[in-house]
Structure formats: C-alpha cells, structure tokens
Structure 1
Amino acid sequence: MTLIKKKNTFKTPQMIVDDIRYGFHRITSQNNPIYSITITNTGCKTTEELRFFLTNKLFNQINKDYKNSFEKLNYLFVIEYPTKVSMGNQIPDSCDVHTHIVLETTISPQHLEYYIQTTFKNPNIHIEDITKRDDKNEYVNYLIKQKDLLTNDNYNYKISI
C-alpha cells in the first residue's frame, strides 16, 4: 500500500500539521535508514516551483532509475520560507524558498547528493542520518515551525508501507 498526499483538497493549517506529523511518523517507523536533508540555494522563488522540482524532477527520476531494484524510497518534504519571512517583522534579504526532506531509503547518501546536484544548479545540501537519534521524533516539530504559513503546496509525501 502506498500513502500519497491528496491533491486539490482544502486543508486548514491544523489539518496540514496533522498530515505532516502522520507522514513523518509513518516514515520513521520503517526499518531502513532515515535521512534528514536540507536543500537551500535552489534558485526557486515559489513553493509551487520548488514542489515541482522536488516531485517531478528529483523523486520521479530516482524512482525511475531504481524502478527494477529492491531500493526503498519513502519521502516527506516541507518547503519553507526564509526565517525573516516567517518572523513577519523583518524585510527578507531573499524570498528564495528551501526544503527539509525526511527520507527513508536504502540508497546511499552519495547517490542522493548526486541526484540533488543534477536537479538544482549549485544547491547547498546538508544530509544527516537520523536513524539512531533519540530526538528524531522532535524533528517533526522543526518541520512544522512555520505552521501559520503552510499551505497544501508547502509539503508532499509518498510512503510505501
């Protein structure tokens, strides 16, 4: 069974937060390595543009390349605005959106970085294995810190269970 976020449905900020929490807990309950990936400097100006690159370019390409393998790829991503935007009381230097990804996969971090590098021009990438972290369940709170700014375009997930 595969869990996929429903498109074109209106969701309140609380429904979005609940959906992100649910996706996060489903991913972290799996038995493969879990990575936290942050990608900044994507060159994307809007959540829609970044969501398109993540879904249609990055994850679809990985799924296509590993289609006939035993590799696992479950993901949840949240797209955020710069901190100054979410604080609301400062003029931002840049409105470039960035993303945080929680990824349950058997694909190596080196291969993941390669795919990210080929999807975006000169991105800043931080990949961390959070599989054995005791505080990984607190990470979901970090993902929803901009809950007042989240819309249906700000996140997506695909989880095969």
Structure 2
Amino acid sequence: MTLIKKKNAPKSIQTIVDDIIYSFHKITSQNTPIYAITITNTDCKTTEELRFYLTNKLFNRIHKDYKHSLEVLNYSFVIEYPTKVSMGNQIPDNCEVHTHIILGTTISKEHIEYYIQTTFRNPDILIEDITKRDDKMNYANYLIKQKHLLTDDNYNYKIKPS
C-alpha cells in the first residue's frame, strides 16, 4: 500500500510535524539512495504555486516516465519561506518560497537534476547524497524548523512500500 498524504480536515501543527517526521523515517528506512535536495530561485511566489510545480510538474512527470520500470521514487517535501520572512509572524502575499526534498530513489542524481532543471526556469539546486551520513536523522528536525508556519499546503509525500 502506497503512503500518500490525505487531504482531510485541517491538520494541527503537531499533526503536520508528525506527518513530516513519519514520512522522513519511512523514506530513510528503505534500501535506496537518499538525497537531500534544496531548490531555490523557483520563480514561484506562493506555497500553493510551488506545491503545484513540485507535485504535478516534477514528481508526476518523473513517475509517468518511470512507471513501467523497476526504478523507485519516494519523496517528501517541505516548502519554506525565506528566513527573514519566517522570523516574523506574518507571511507576505508575494515572496520567494523554496523547498527541501527528501528523495529515496534508484534514479540517478543526474536524471533527477535534469527533471528539476526542466521543471523550473533557472533554479538553484543543491543535491546531497545523505545515504551514508550518520547524522541524517537530524535532517528531519531541519525540515520542521518553521513549524509555526506549516500548513497542509507546505508539504507533501508519496512513498511506496519496498
């Protein structure tokens, strides 16, 4: 059974945090390479716009291209506001949001980067292989650092069983 985030009633901040940590642990417990990816300079101005691009234009396209292969693609992402914005309590209507992605995949790093480059106009991409890092579990805490700003639109995941 595939683990997919469900849209139900609005979730509490604690439920969202638990969801993010749970999806992170599910991905890191599988036997695939794990990449921590940060994408900035997406030209997306809202969390909703970036979430649409990530879910529909990036991950759905990769899934479609690889659905008849043995490749694995499990992901979890969190959308964040710039640090200077997140330090206040109000979110402006228009600001440069960015994303942190945890990707458990057998698809090559180069192919993943290609998909990201062709999804966004001129993104800044940092891809780090964290598969063998001893401290990778600390990354889950990094993903929830803006927990006071998390909403149901700020994250998503899709994880198939191994």
Whether TM exceeds 0.5 here: the answer is yes
What letter is aligned with 1:157? Y
Matches within 5 A, 1:68-147: 68-88=68-88, 95-147=95-147
1:29 to partner: Cα distance: 0.2
Q: Secondary structure at the match of 1:148?
A: helix
1:95-153, CA deviations, whole angstroms, 9 ceiling, x for partnerless residues? 21000000000001100000000000000000000000000000000000000000000
Aligned residues with identical type, % of pairs: 78
Query: How many angstroms apart in 2 are the aligned matches of 1:61 and 1:95?
Result: 26
| Equivalent-residue separation in structure 2 for 1:30 and 1:86 (angstroms) | 32
Q: Cα offset for 1:86?
A: 1.1
TM-score between both structures, scaled by the size of structure 2 = 0.95
Separation in 2 of the partners of 1:100 and 1:148?
17
1:22 paired residue number: 22
Aligned with 2:149: secondary structure? coil
How many pairs does the alignment contain?
A: 160
Q: Distance in 2 between matches of 1:100 and 1:128?
A: 11
Q: Which runs of 4+ in 1 moved over 6 A?
A: none
Unpaired runs of 5+ in structure 1?
none
1:55 matched residue in structure 2: 55
Question: What code does the residue aligned with 1:31 have?
Answer: N
Counterpart of 1:31 in 2: which secondary structure? coil
The two structures have a TM-score, normalised by structure 1, of: 0.96
